Amino acid sequence: MTDIGFDGQVAIVTGAGQGLGREHALQLAARGARVVVNDVGGSVDGTGADAGPAQQVADEINTVGGEAVANTDSVASQAGGEAIVRTALDAFGRLDIVVNNAGILRDKSFHNLTPDLLDPVMQVHLFGAFWVTLPAWKVMREQSYGRIINTTSAAGLFGNFGQTNYGAAKMGLVGLTKALAQEGRRRNVLANVIAPGARTRMTKELLGPLADSLDPEAVTPVVVYLASDQCDVTGQILSVAGGRVSRVVVAEPLGYFSDNLTPEQVRDNWESIASLEGLIVPENANEEIGLLLKVAR
């Protein structure tokens, strides 16, 4: 097969002023994509604003012969999401790829959680993906082509102490991606989600000694593939870190069935209920319901 390229295509990368987003923007541009580099330029906790980071990445792309424009609208509002997409359409006349990467951290143990620690995290991570993807989705449906890459986290998939806000937002992105995959498949609009492990300003304190081996550059090849017209997978969760890529699945076994289920039966048959033997990976909610029918027969 030919090398992956993006000649004539347009990508939006949110949170692209630093870290993972910067690498995504640079590598998409290096392969021919015209890129909207979105970043408000705030601190890790989402406060403040600085047009510098987005502009610096756009300049870096343009200096080597690529095409990029900077955008500093916030993903956390509907108006911001629409403005980001409008930037792509005004600058380049089309839109093919959205990489939802923007994020902030406001970690706190659950019993100390307050609205000012919860709301902004949900607005940037989860609502931000909605607000950017929604206007982009309409364009992609109309042209019968598009690629959406969302960014979840191990904290969402598996949980992490002190990150109930972040983890809930990140797992919400999995649900968003799964539903988008169902809605977009017939129009060749594919949606996948990555759970990256990389050294960034958000994670360097959390990773400890692992940080040295987790370069952001090792995550971007997966994003480049998922963003390409050579990608034909949708609705997948991929764990990506340090050169390792693996599929993460939501799976279930047949479990235990009773036509007159009681709490005592749940207690007494917990081993069967919790067994991981014979795992099945439903492709959608209807397939999961089909499992219930199969067990009940």
Long-range contacts of residues 111-118, Cβ cutoff 8 Å, at least 24 apart:
113/164, 113/165, 117/165, 118/165
Which is the catalytic residue, given 145, 166, 225, 256?
166
Instruction: Extract the tokens encoding 179.
Output: 């539903």
Q: How far is CA 3 from CA 6, 25, 31, 41, 149, in A?
A: 10, 18, 9, 33, 20
Distances in Å between the alpha carbon of 169 and those of 129, 145, 242, 246, 259? 10, 27, 24, 22, 37
Per the annotation, the verdict on 145 as an active-site residue is no
Q: Map the chain to HEC letters.
A: CCCCCCCCCEEEEECCCCHHHHHHHHHHHHCCCEEEEECCCCCCCCCCCCCHHHHHHHHHHHHCCCEEEEECCCCCCHHHHHHHHHHHHHHHCCCCEEEECCCCCCCECHHHCCHHHHHHHHHHHHHHHHHHHHHHHHHHHHHCCEEEEEECCHHHHCCCCCEHHHHHHHHHHHHHHHHHHHHHHHHCEEEEEEEEECCCCCCHHHHHHHHHHCCHHHCHHHHHHHCCCCCCCCCCEEEEECCEEEEECCCECCCCCCCCCCHHHHHHCHHHHHCCCCCECCCCHHHHHHHHHHHHC
Query: Active-site residue numbers?
Result: 166
